Amino acid sequence: MAERIVSMHAAHRSGKEVVDGFLSRPTGAGERPAIVLVHGYRGLDDGQRAVTRRFAQEGFVCLSPDLFHGKTYHTLEDCALKKTSLDIPTAVNNIVDSVPYLRKLPWVGKKKVAVLGFCMGGGLALYALAQSKAFDAGVIYYQSMFPDPEDLKSITAPMLCHYGTDDTGTTQTEIEMFRDSLERHKKKYQIAMYPGAGHAFLNNPSSKSAANHDAADKSVASTAKWLKKLLA
């Protein structure tokens, strides 16, 4: 049964800037494990807010930092330009610096924290896992940004990675190259493939594909089960 949640604006400091965000959490008492959710190249849009709420209903304190500082993008051209011009180190610092903020919240405290990213955010989540030991697990959804394989060497947290077999944005060739890198560096990981699902099957609320909806439901259930075990 989905837990009751409350959702609200949030903000944390990262270096000299303040990073806004969207936070959802269960209303029940006690500390909970947390997830930092990293949005894709559209920004902190309604789809990102929806998945933030969805994982909060699974029992996690969920924070989506706004890496685009209030802007969202809708056309393919605008989205692609934003992604390819992104200041990656600053974005990764914004993600990593959300962990001390979460630790200050009474409903997180000393509980473990995972990072979860979609599309562009999946690549940024990989960079965050490589840069910081603050995350106890990583969940990667169909990343469309691929760090150099050598940048993956420093990752120590286990990873769960989700992909659709019909994804033209994150191709099967790229997935296999990523798998080969993880194998070569002896990383702890699992890869889940969803037949017929395309790109952004979880964080695109406008999708009418039955395969996408099935993949979304199954991936959320498996991710919640996996994280509850790892972050306990």
pLDDT at 207 over 90: no
Instruction: Residue 111: name the closest of 28, 228, 31 by CA.
Output: 31
The pLDDT value recorded for residue 183 is 97
The pLDDT > 70 percentage for the chain reads 100
pLDDT at 205 over 80: no
Strand runs labelled E in the chain: 5-14, 17-26, 34-38, 61-65, 113-118, 137-141, 159-164, 189-194
Q: Are 120 and 85 in contact (CB under 8 A)?
A: no
| Distance, CA of 183 to CA of 232 (rounded, Å) | 27
Q: 151: Cβ–Cβ under 8 A, 6 or more apart, which residues?
A: 126, 127, 130
The pLDDT value recorded for residue 204 is 87
pLDDT digits (tens, 9 = 90+) for 28-86: 989 999 999 999 999 999 999 999 999 999 999 999 999 999 999 999 999 999 999 99
pLDDT digits (tens, 9 = 90+) for 114-157: 999 999 999 999 999 999 999 999 999 999 999 999 999 999 99
Confidence of residue 208 (pLDDT cuts 50, 70, 90): confident
pLDDT digits (tens, 9 = 90+) for 16-27: 999 999 999 999
What integer is the mean pLDDT of 110-115? Answer: 96
Domains of the chain by start residue, with CATH: 5-230 (3.40.50.1820)
Tokens of 25: 């959490």
Tokens of 179: 């798998």
What integer is the mean pLDDT of 2-26? Answer: 97
Long-range pairs for 5-9: beta carbons < 8 A, 24 or more residues apart? 5/53, 5/56, 5/57, 7/49, 7/52, 7/53, 7/56
Confidence of residue 215 (pLDDT cuts 50, 70, 90): very high
The pLDDT value recorded for residue 193 is 98
